[in-house]
Amino acid sequence: SQYKIESGTNISTMVTTRSSTGGELRERKTTDYDTPSKSNKRKTSSVATMSTNYHDAESQWANRTMEAKQRAVERDRIVIYKRPLTTVWLFINVTYRTFASYAAWVYRHRNVTVLPVILILVLQYNLRRFHYQPVQDWQAEVDRNTAYFMWWVGLGVLSSIGLGTGMHSGMLFMFPHILKTVLFAEGCGHTNFDSRINMWNAAITGNVSFECGAAAGAAPATWWNLLLKLAPAGILWGAGTAIGEIPPYFVSYSAAKLGGEENEELSELEDASNGDVVTQMKRWMVNVLRRFGFWGVLAFSAYPNAAFDLVGICCGHFMMPFLTFFGGTFVGKALIKAPGQVAGAVVVFGSGTREAFKAWLQPLLPASYHALVVSKMEAAILKFQKINEGEGPEAHSFFSFYSNGFGLAQVWSLVVIGLVGFFALSCVHQFAKGRQLELDNGYLDKKYPLTVREDIHHKKNVTA
């Protein structure tokens, strides 16, 4: 036989043969595998090696998956009532790591975090030593406004940061301040007086007395002018309550971020077969927050909502962006709820507006209900007057709120505390499990290198 290979043929070669009887030439195509070469041998060897590596990778990945499932079962036992020491240690560990990372961030950005604070303190110190009357007057005004800001924002934070156990600063300080301001403005006949002095030690002890300013050109003591005068305190107090809602959100957000696994309680909550009343209420709240986001948070924060801690926990669990959560909370509490409460309190505490309000309610309510509303208004005024005079109950703490017996408000407060406590404990568990998940993943990555997954991915791409 004679073979003739055409030059330039890569995929196939043309092979010419002559029959034994001397007949005409016949052409046929033969593939590269008909004439094995070194490149073909290397390709065949590479494919065989890839197949072997793929099967080895599949086996190792199966072992890793099985061991990961076993470790997931062990992580489910990391709860305070089954493994208390492990749970507490993991929670402390992840808390320390979190704060250490924040401290490191502050140190790395010290030029924009620490340095401005030092400069402000140095400037304040030098201004106080500068004996020039206009400068001293300006410094005194800055000090007064700073103290005013810190007082009302701090009271707002204390009112909401306790996860249902905070100080009732609205009943103890905000509404008595409104009453004192309204009554004094009605006595003066105008609003030209400084009500900012009713703060800190003066407000706590009740030893404060306003001084009427000049009546010439002063704004009269109308409902609108009183609202404008009291609105800054109300807005600052509302902003403080919004800030106090950050810890529940932050704890839940961090737990969800560290967890990395599907939340079983959320799965049960979203199961349509579970139809009890409490679950339906939770599901409704979750659906509202998921669907409306910012507007849902705003709606839940725009009225006195004793269960708003649960909203923060829910938003954190779904990893809602911080600006969305805090923006809705701030607008609802600082710009809607608090000013609305101030406006209502001015109506109730002002003698003229109170009588007008009574007359407006009379045709709308039955006589018995009208008398009940009027009696409640008079009782509230008397209560806040006693607080201003230092004769009211010293309910400055959580425990004293329950010292006069249990009513509907106390029972509801305990229910909220119980729910928030349960969620807080679940967040602790999630923190601990999240940290253990990080440790387990590190161990598995070391035992089963990530190249196992890369081999499988490469093989799938080749076969495709």
Q: Which of 44-53, 211-220, 308-317, 334-343 has the highest mean pLDDT?
A: 334-343
For the chain, the helix, strand and coil percentages under 3-state DSSP, each to the nearest 5: 70, 5, 25
Q: Which residue type occupies 88?
A: V
Contacts of 315 (CB under 8 A, 6+ apart): 249, 252, 253, 289, 297, 325
Q: What is the 3-state secondary structure (H, E, C) of 20-74?
A: CCCCCCEEEEEEHHHCCCHHHHHHHHHHHHHHHHHHHHHHHHHHHHHHHHHHHHH
pLDDT score, position 13: 41
pLDDT score, position 20: 43
pLDDT above 70: residue 4: no
Averaged pLDDT score across all residues of the chain: 75
Residue 237 binned pLDDT confidence (cut-offs 50, 70, 90): very high
pLDDT score, position 134: 81
pLDDT above 90: residue 168: no
CA distances from residue 226 to 59, 235, 320, 386 in whole angstroms, order as listed? 77, 14, 38, 22
pLDDT above 60: residue 309: yes
Give the predicted TM-score (pTM) of the model.
0.64
Burial of 312 (0-12, 13-18, 19+ CB in 10 A): buried
Tell whether the torsion through CA atoms of 170, 175, 181 and 185 is positive or negative.
positive
Nearest Cα neighbor of 302 from 335, 324, 327 is 335
Enter the tokens of residue 91.
Answer: 């929670």
Residue 30 binned pLDDT confidence (cut-offs 50, 70, 90): very low
pLDDT above 50: residue 7: no
Residue 409 binned pLDDT confidence (cut-offs 50, 70, 90): low
C-alpha to C-alpha distance for 354 and 136, rounded to whole angstroms: 43
Q: Which of 94-103, 231-240, 275-284, 444-453 has the lowest mean pLDDT?
A: 275-284
pLDDT above 60: residue 18: no
With H, G, I as helix, E, B as strand and everything else as coil, classify residue 12. Answer: strand
Q: What percent of the chain has pLDDT over 90?
A: 15
Contacts of 375 (CB under 8 A, 6+ apart): none
Maximum Cα–Cα distance across the chain: 136
pLDDT above 50: residue 449: yes
C-alpha to C-alpha distance for 351 and 179, rounded to whole angstroms: 11
Q: Which residue type occupies 293?
A: G
Nearest Cα neighbor of 48 from 459, 450, 464, 451 is 459
Cα torsion for 273, 278, 282, 283, to the nearest 10°? 20
DSSP 262: -
- For tokens 């009605």, what's the residue? 186
Burial of 200 (0-12, 13-18, 19+ CB in 10 A): middle
